[in-house]
Structure 1
Amino acid sequence: MSDSLPSAASPGSSDPVRVVVLAGGISHERDISLRSGRRVADALASHGLHVELRDPDATLLGSLTDDRPDVVFPVLHGASGEDGTLRSLLEFLGLPYVGSPAAATRLAWDKPTAKTLVERAGVPTPHSITLTRDAFRELGAESVLAVVRGELPTPVAIKPAQGGSAQGVTLVDTEEELRRAMVHAYTYCDVAIIEQRITGTEICIGIIDTGDGPVALPPVEIEPLSGVYGFEARYNAGETRFYAPARIADDVTERATAIALDAHRALGLRHLSRIDMIVDGAGTPWFLEASVMPGLTETSTLALALEAAGHDVGWVYAALAQAAIREHSA
């Protein structure tokens, strides 16, 4: 990643680059998106870009069509920003945007699909089974879980097949908790995953690409005080200790970095992503999931990783915006 400051001017013009930052939306993660969006908008403005912060609504597409910005920076979490729909529409409008292409976003958003693709690329990921709500109901919950327990004994993690911020996720230690955890996951998505639970150190690695190829940031170690890195622990200051860089051996860092980059490439991601992993007692990093739009709040791991790498957050966001413009016009 180049350390030269990107120009704040639009290509071929002395006017500042016009960026529309999209934040909010209607997902369960709306509040987090708003917080992330405000921070991105402020950081871009501090580097001389002209920024409009918008909450998507029925007037958005017409506005983007009539008054085309130089680039769109979606900071939307949940389905409204990470299932590929909005990015497909931006592509149809011919507008450059920061973030992964629509097709790659759809793949990463669906956790079973993402796990399959990274596993094919040689990335280790915990053994799991994907169960639809209809199958769980029609085949009988107890019968289904009896079969699953033979292959995936507790402890396991149960989570919705789509979604973020650990919403709908339950760590299950006993067989009696399984059914209740499945019902909880189904309140967020019609498909749920039962996944082998790896015990170890939870880390995440941010990936940034400002035009010279993907670069892995220092791994961030996550230590929730409650023992569970759930929604509250992610976004409430003081609920979690973060260590950037992570307190892991150099050789483990090298393996985790290689896995993060392999996963990013296997999913076809672009500009920025966050790869979540857990390192077991033997020092093996296991892929858990990928985020195409990591949280960018004051407690976000990506911001901590950028700081640990010595990068100015505003510079990086401006560089990503410029990269999106260059790639679109190439």
Structure 2
Amino acid sequence: MKIAVLYGGTSKEREVSLSTGEGMINALRQLGYDVVAIDFDPAKLTQHISELENVDFVLIGLHGKQGEDGRVQGFLELLGLPYLGSGVLASSLAMDKSRSKQIFANEGLPIARSQTFNKKMDVKEIYQQIINTFDCPFVIKPNQEGSTLGLTFVHHQEEIEKAIQLAFSHDDQLLVEDFVEGRELTVSVFGNQGEEEALPIIEIIPKNKYYDYEAKYSVGGSEHIVPAKIAEPLTDKIQSLAVKAHQALGCESYSRVDFILNEQDEPIILEVNTLPGMTPTSLYPDAAAAVGLNYEQMLDKLIGLAMKNY
């Protein structure tokens, strides 16, 4: 089978995507697939259409905008090419933190209190609404961005204006969210729609104060404890919430759901990642390893799962 890997891209997460793409390409070659590696650029669609001729299946190793947000998925669907992962709508909803939180709230899933602001609003008005609504510490982040890019943990009021400007440098909308103190957890979800199951919970212990970009992608930047040391009833609850969040957005094949377990042992859903990282330090491969699947076996299983839907 001839499989194309779209990786790289033009988003601010390009470096992460290059690493994900490299991991996918190497694994596919070890599995004996015929691989077409495409460093994806939206400005070169005509070239990419030519490169995708006679391809049987596509892996999307892109992260961030024009990768995770449904646009590439729509491009592949117009070409009639099967691919691994969520479709246009689910990808777009998961990328839009504000919209996904609304869906989670409607489904009764636990989320942190938040408020969304548009770039067209006056910064002074945004500032005033924030200080009237939120007590420090809280988080200001772009509404559609990944890998903690543009995110600020605000501890003092004098940090707010700079945090607003930073978030708006990444996106036209920002999200202000209560900071939840607790344990960083993530749950990988796997399976066809209606048959999804959660892999073992991973607890993330960052070497930095927060689980920031460096902690996520630097070798040794964080410790992954898998399975997380959590009592069985709570483990079952968190895994169930992960599957429900995945299903609420209409995700397909696989995703990764991030949580904070607060000091009262209440899990709070942060976001759903429809294209979880597949770098050497990524979490999804770690969860797969905990159930006896190495990187190559994990990828082969995901491809087989997705191909059944076409």
What range is the shorter-chain TM-score in? over 0.9
Letter in 1 for 2:79: L
In structure 1, the residue matched to 2:31 is: 47
Letter in 2 for 1:145: Y
Q: What is the 5 A alignment of 1:72-151?
A: 72-135=58-121, 137=122, 140-141=123-124, 143-151=125-133
C-alpha displacement at 1:301, in angstroms?
A: 0.9
In structure 2, the residue matched to 1:19 is: 3
Q: Is the 8 A contact 1:211 1:323 kept in 2?
A: no
C-alpha displacement at 1:322, in angstroms?
A: 2.5
Q: Which stretch shifts more, 143-152 or 214-223?
A: 143-152
Pair 1:193-2:179 in alignment:
no
Q: How many residues align?
A: 306
Q: What is the 5 A alignment of 1:142-161?
A: 143-161=125-143
- Please list every run of at least 4 consecutive aligned residues from structure 1 whose deviation after the TM superposition is greater than 4 angstroms: none
Uncovered stretches (5+) of structure 1, i.e. residues with no partner: 1-16
User: CA 1:211–1:128 in 2, change beyond 3 Å: closer, same or farther?
Assistant: closer
Q: Is the 8 A contact 2:285 2:298 kept in 1?
A: no
In structure 2, the residue matched to 1:289 is: 271
C-alpha displacement at 1:189, in angstroms?
A: 0.6
C-alpha displacement at 1:145, in angstroms?
A: 2.5
Q: What is the 5 A alignment of 1:144-183?
A: 144-183=126-165
In structure 1, distance between residues paired with 2:34 and 2:295: 17
**Helix, strand or coil: the match of 2:66?**
helix
C-alpha displacement at 1:307, in angstroms?
A: 1.0
Uncovered stretches (5+) of structure 2, i.e. residues with no partner: none
In structure 1, the residue matched to 2:16 is: 32
Letter in 2 for 1:134: K
In structure 2, distance between residues paired with 1:41 and 1:210: 24
C-alpha displacement at 1:131, in angstroms?
A: 0.5
Q: Is the 8 A contact 1:70 1:325 kept in 2?
A: no
Query: What value does the CA root-mean-square deviation take over the aligned residues?
Result: 1.5
In structure 2, distance between residues paired with 1:312 and 1:239: 22
Q: Which stretch shifts more, 168-177 or 44-53?
A: 44-53
1:139-183 Cα shifts (integer Å, max 9, x gaps)? x42x43233323221111111000111101111112221111111
Letter in 2 for 1:49: Y
C-alpha displacement at 1:316, in angstroms?
A: 2.1
1:189-212 Cα shifts (integer Å, max 9, x gaps)? 110000011110011111112688
Q: Is the 8 A contact 1:207 1:214 kept in 2?
A: yes
In structure 1, distance between residues paired with 2:266 and 2:176: 21
Q: Between the two proteins, what is the percent identity of the paired residues? A: 33
Q: What is the 5 A alignment of 1:238-249?
A: 238-249=220-231
Q: Is the 8 A contact 1:210 1:320 kept in 2?
A: no
Q: Is the 8 A contact 2:113 2:177 kept in 1?
A: yes
